[in-house]
Amino acid sequence: MATYDYRCSKCLKTEEFVHGMLETPEIRCPSCDIKMEKIIGTAQFRIHGGTEASHWKEKRSRLQHSDVLAKRQKERYGDQMKAAPNVMGHRTDTWADAQKLAKECSIPTDSYVPWVAKEKSPMKVGLYTGKDSAT
């Protein structure tokens, strides 16, 4: 559907009407009762998006996908994800051990440096290893 402007040639009153592009209705002026002329170049189109049903289907699909991902993460990492010392999935007791193992396996050790530094700090809290301990 398109919106068209029509003008009366006698009183110059302008009105807006909505009809299909292929329709040619006979529109009369409400005050003069004379056939109004279509003004060229002022058509406006209204394009609607999808329906509520299609939006719901997309939203439901995204929710199901995120639920599946959340379930997989819970299966892999448990309820709480914690950064634990490991090298390519092989767990170690400390971050220093993980750094040594990475070096032996020819893996870059730059990412282990901040963890080793936190591990050696005097205020060691169990955020990284899951254990509370004071050194």
State the pLDDT at residue 8: 92
State the pLDDT at residue 45: 59
* Distance in angstroms (rounded) separating the CA atoms of residues 38 and 29: 12
Residue 99 sits at φ, ψ, to 5 deg, of -65, -40
Predicted model pTM? 0.32
Placement of tokens 């070096």 in the chain: 103
Band the pLDDT of 135: cuts 50, 70, 90: very low
Contacts for 72 with CB less than 8 Å, ≥ 6 apart: none
State the pLDDT at residue 68: 83
Q: pLDDT digits over 31-69, tens only?
A: 889 999 988 765 555 556 666 666 777 777 888 888 888
Of 86, 108, 111, which is closest to residue 97 (Cα–Cα)? 86
* DSSP for 69-111, written as a single string: HHHHHHHHH-SS-----EETTEE-SSHHHHHHHHHHTT---GG
Mean pLDDT within 5-14: 90
Q: pLDDT digits over 70-89, tens only?
A: 888 777 766 665 677 888 88
